[in-house]
Amino acid sequence: MTEQTVTAGPDTLLNAVVGSDLEVVELGHPYTTGMPCSPNHPGFRMTLIRRHGDMVRPDGGSASNEIIVTGGHVGTHVDALSHVSHCGKLHGDIDAEEAQRGGRHSKHGAENIPFMLCRGLLLDVPRVRGVEALEAGQAVTEQDLRDAADAAGVTPRRGDVVLIRTGWARHFDDAQRYLGQQDGVPGAEVGAGQWLADAGIVAAGADTTAFEHIPPGKGHSVLPVHRILLVDNGIHIIEHLNLEAASARGLTEFTFVMAPLRITGGTGSPVRPVAVVAK
């Protein structure tokens, strides 16, 4: 049998990336012990369990490693469709109680959250309103999103990821204010959530702890936008984003890249989302 050499053809995407003048803009927060998280979830903790010098190899080499303990909805993360149910049902009319048996979700687990390489849109609500950041407990309406989209010259469409900036990420180091248990947190209200769902997007994100509007004194007692996106429409939610650099850069439309961890049966995953744009 004669050997044949197969020569791979040029990779169009690789050729477009290598040597091109691209910039990567971070869209999330670093993971830090003690960073703010919802009281509904265990917080993030990291500590070294082995330090350099604890054990030294004969050739002088040493190593250090850590232990990490965290909930799946702490820091910048994405919700799986198993995260929220309504009247006992997950997205697609799946029985939630049956799906969660055995200590992990057999349906809609985090391993099924897609890798996202798609068009991303930044809807910068404070920029349109002429303020640096929205007020605590302030609702983001459908009209706010329409105005932000018009100002950016974009229209959400099927397969997009839409990120809503409220400016709230600037309070990330002030856990009490950021979580807003007393004063509330700005975010999308029901009409805004439905507008996003009607566009057919694959994911929506915001720079707050719960994505949606948290009125003063209400906490996370009711989360109707989670139901609209996750349960009714199968749209993933990305929370705890940091959109300040993207806003300062004036981003509106960009290539969005995000790779969730494939946590079998989980309800969410830490992520490191980025925007890739031409310099």
For residue 151, being part of any structural domain is answered with yes
Please tell me the distance from the alpha carbon of residue 95 to that of residue 85, in angstroms, as a whole number: 9
Q: What pLDDT, on the 0 to 100 scale, is given for residue 3?
A: 44
Q: Can you tell me the mean pLDDT for 146-159?
A: 98
Give me the mean pLDDT over the 111-122 stretch. Answer: 98
Say if pTM beats, i.e. exceeds, 0.75: yes
**153 pLDDT above the threshold of 60:** yes
Residue 233 belongs to a domain: yes
Q: Is residue 43 part of a domain?
A: no
Whether the per-residue pLDDT at 6 is higher than 50: the answer is no
Residue 49 backbone dihedrals phi, psi, to 5 degrees: -105, -10
Average pLDDT of the segment spanning 132-141: 97
Angstrom distance (rounded) from CA 273 to CA 34: 21
Q: Which two tokens stand for residue 117?
A: 């390489």
- 47 inside domain: no
Task: Quote the radius of gyration of the chain (alpha carbons, Å).
Answer: 21
pLDDT at position 39 is: 85
Domain assignment present for 185: yes
Number of domains in the chain: 1
pLDDT digits (tens, 9 = 90+) for 178-227: 999 999 999 999 999 999 999 999 999 999 999 999 999 877 778 999 99
Q: What's the mean per-residue pLDDT of the chain?
A: 94
- So what's the pLDDT on residue 5? 46
The reply to whether 5 falls in a domain is: no
- What would the DSSP string read from start to end of 207-250? SSSSSB-B-TTTTTS--HHHIIIIIIH--EEEESB--HHHHHTT
- Are the CB atoms for 115 and 258 separated by under 8 Å? yes
Does residue 2 lie in a domain region?
A: no
**Residues spanned by the domain of 105:** 12-30+72-278
Q: Would residue 58 count as lying in a domain? A: no
- Per-residue pLDDT, averaged over 82-97, amounts to 98
153: domain CATH number? Answer: 3.50.30.50
Pairing mode of beta strands 77-79, 65-69: unpaired
